[in-house]
Amino acid sequence: MRTQAVSFCFGLLSLGLAAAAEVQSVPHTLTLDEPGGVYDFGGATLKWSGPGDCSQAEGMPPMFSITAPGITLRNATIIGAPDGIHIHSNNVTLEELRFPDVCEDAVTFKRGSRNATVQRCLFTNAEDKVIQATGGRLHRIHDCVFTRCRRPLRCGPGVGVRFYDNTLIDCHSGVRAGGTGCVVLVWGNAFDGVRHPVQKLAGAHIVRFRH
């Protein structure tokens, strides 16, 4: 399955900018396992056609599973991915990705991840979480736009995240942190129509800088 996923992915990559105006069907999870690999989809739209649906059901497959360190995934519109992108490794960068309708989650920092960066991404219409941080530390989320998202970031026990210079519009909450050892640094964000910019539950520590 991994070989099929990687082959399919490289087939999309070979299309380059010519794929920008096309919709590419993704029938199964694409596993990115080349250390240091750069996966640039040239603005293509990737539409999930595999199992699962765009609901809040748990345990559905992601469109991408990133298992090697140093990978960059960029420049694509992602539609219908049941559980978005799972990051299992270190030093991963997601940039210039667009989720016009977030399904269960758009991005998950899994156990084994560390120092992931999500930057210059657009997330719209999330019924619940956009980014779920369940593992790792030193993650960065910055220069992203969240519109009509119930909860842009949820951070769990033992996880460390820096959330800065983002724009949040018409969201229920901004950052929700809970559990022992959860540390979130928050600064420089623009909140417009956000009911609860920061929510801290038992055991979490949030440092909010203002400037």
Instruction: For residue range 129-166, list pLDDT tens digits in order.
Output: 999 999 999 999 999 999 999 999 999 999 999 999 99
What's the alpha-carbon Rg for the chain, to the nearest Å?
Answer: 16
State the pLDDT at residue 60: 86
C-alpha 18/C-alpha 87 separation (Å) is 28
Instruction: For residue range 170-201, list pLDDT tens digits in order.
Output: 999 999 999 999 999 999 999 999 999 999 99
State the pLDDT at residue 54: 77
At 51, the pLDDT band (50, 70, 90 cuts) reads confident
State the pLDDT at residue 58: 74
C-alpha 23/C-alpha 135 separation (Å) is 32
- Long-range Cβ contact pairs of 188-193 (< 8 A, separation 24 or more): 188/164, 189/163, 189/164, 189/165, 190/166, 192/167, 192/168, 193/169
Task: Indicate which CATH number applies to the domain containing 53.
Answer: 2.160.20.10
Asked if pLDDT for residue 44 goes beyond 80, the answer is: yes
State the pLDDT at residue 16: 40
Buried-state track 20-30, b at ≥16 Cβ within 10 A, e below 16: eeeebebeebb
State the pLDDT at residue 3: 29
Domain count, the chain: 1
Domain that residue 128 falls in: 2-209
| Identity of the residue numbered 46 | L
Phi, psi for residue 18 in degrees, rounded to 5:
-65, -20
Contacts (Cβ under 8 Å, ≥6 apart) of 174: 152, 153, 163, 168, 186, 189, 191, 194, 196, 197, 198
State the pLDDT at residue 22: 80
Asked if pLDDT for residue 1 goes beyond 60, the answer is: no
DSSP state of 35: T
The mean of the pLDDT values for the chain is: 89
State the pLDDT at residue 150: 95
Q: What percent of the chain has pLDDT over 90?
A: 81
